[in-house]
Structure 1
Amino acid sequence: MPNGPNPGKLHPMSPHTNLVFLKNQITNPYIIVGDYTYYADFTDTQNFEKNVLYHFDFIGDKLIIGNFCAIASDVKFIMNAANHETMPISTFPFGVFGNGWEKINKGVSLNNKYPNKGDMVFGHDVWIGYNATIMPGVKIGNGAIIAAKAVVTKDVPDYAIVGGNPAKIIRMRYNESQIARLNKIAWWNWSAEKITRHLTLINATDIDALEKAGY
């Protein structure tokens, strides 16, 4: 019996080519993507890395996406190099242009001068809707849903549904106790064979039954 699609295949729904298992086409070492996470694009799946904006090696921040995430077309990931100083009179980044202006950077921490909010991290089983925008350093919890065109400026807890600009929690998918149990089950870390065997439970609403299957 087949145990699901091959996570190493670029186009798991071949000949349909507008959906890819994303990790198989990532070339940037600062973008880390888990198994089975897919990206769907209306025109060209090769656009994904172009949607990771202001992402420069010298900053060193990472975009980390877990397993089994679903990423819709035109999602934008804004990384830390987009940040400017806000304390000085001018927000203009004089130092990056050199030619004598680099002196403004001498003796100062660039992380302090150009704020770095850390890596952007997505948990597992996250659904990111069409044309959503994620801002620098945001952490998205397991099982979260990001509504289409949402602008996410703050961390999103596990199993929250958020939407709007700035994005706010619309509702929680489960209560605190249920979320703790689901995170402990962590079905996204199971083997493909075990996921296949319990697929009906994963795709249902009975946490008790899924919990028993995990032991």
Structure 2
Amino acid sequence: MKQAPNCNEPFPLQGYNKLCFLKNVVKNPKIEIGDFTYYDDHDDVANFEKNVRYNFDFIDDKLIIGKFCSIASGVQFLLNGGNHLIQAISSFPFAIFGHGWENAMQDKAYPVRGSITVGSDVWIGHEAVILPGVTIGDGCIIGAQSVVTKSVEPYTIVGGNPAKPIKKRFNEEEIETLLKIEWWNWPVDVITQNIQLLTSKDIKALMQVHQQLKSA
């Protein structure tokens, strides 16, 4: 039987250090990455963590990414540390400058829209930007240079600024089936045995494998 790649190997492509399995490279505890999710950077994979912007310890938010995601070079995730007041007279962050302005935020708080959550088997294209509080469902595709301001339903292709749905990858019944299957949670040896199936369009056959696993 063929052996799957080692998800604990930082650089799975021999002699190539511009693509990494992210969980082995990211060090910030506020960033959670699932197995086999990879990042491909034109220059240095360390850019991924640099591109998780406004990630401050004093704000209770995270970036959570599932398994088997494909993340292209230049993708940016903007967390809540970059938020300003938008309903006040001024959006200027007076308090951070001190010198008599420290009390500007007394009894006030900057808006926090929540963590960014990316499901499994998501492809995020070149230089896309994901804003705070966004949830991207399993199986989504985010077009290159898109700006994702709102959550995206599973298995949806979106693109543009702001990103808008282009189409669903499958019909609703097929999506419901795929969300039940959650193939990314199968044992790695089962995934390896069914690589040809996972790169086909045969959802019914995939469901049969899922049912066999459940009954085993």
Asked if TM exceeds 0.5, the reply is yes
Distance in structure 1 (CA, Å) of the matches to 2:32 and 2:96? 27
Q: Tell me the secondary structure at the aligned position of residue 55 of structure 1.
A: coil
Backbone CA RMSD of aligned residues: 1.0
2:160 is the alignment partner of 1:129: no
Over the matched positions of the two proteins, sequence identity in percent amounts to 52
Residue 166 (structure 2) aligns with: 170
Distance in structure 1 (CA, Å) of the matches to 2:84 and 2:38? 32
**What TM-score results when the alignment is normalised by the length of structure 2?**
0.95
2:142 is the alignment partner of 1:152: no
**Is the contact between residue 150 and residue 166 of structure 1 (CA under 8 Å) also seen in structure 2?**
yes
Residue 75 (structure 1) aligns with: 75
Amino acid at match of 2:42: F
1:212 maps to which of 187, 208, 216:
208
Distance in structure 2 (CA, Å) of the matches to 1:150 and 1:143? 17
**Is the contact between residue 19 and residue 38 of structure 1 (CA under 8 Å) also seen in structure 2?**
yes
1:203 maps to which of 179, 186, 199:
199
Residue 89 (structure 1) aligns with: 89
Q: Tell me the secondary structure at the aligned position of residue 64 of structure 2.
A: strand
Q: Tell me the secondary structure at the aligned position of residue 214 of structure 1.
A: helix
Amino acid at match of 1:69: C
Residue 188 (structure 1) aligns with: 184
Which runs of no fewer than 5 residues in structure 1 stay unpaired?
none
**What TM-score results when the alignment is normalised by the length of structure 1?**
0.95
Distance in structure 1 (CA, Å) of the matches to 2:151 and 2:9? 31
Which runs of no fewer than 5 residues in structure 2 stay unpaired?
212-216
Aligned residues: 211
Q: Tell me the secondary structure at the aligned position of residue 64 of structure 1.
A: strand
Q: Tell me the secondary structure at the aligned position of residue 181 of structure 1.
A: helix
Q: CA deviation at 1:65?
A: 0.3
2:47 is the alignment partner of 1:47: yes
Residue 21 (structure 2) aligns with: 21
**Is the contact between residue 3 and residue 192 of structure 1 (CA under 8 Å) also seen in structure 2?**
no
Amino acid at match of 2:140: A
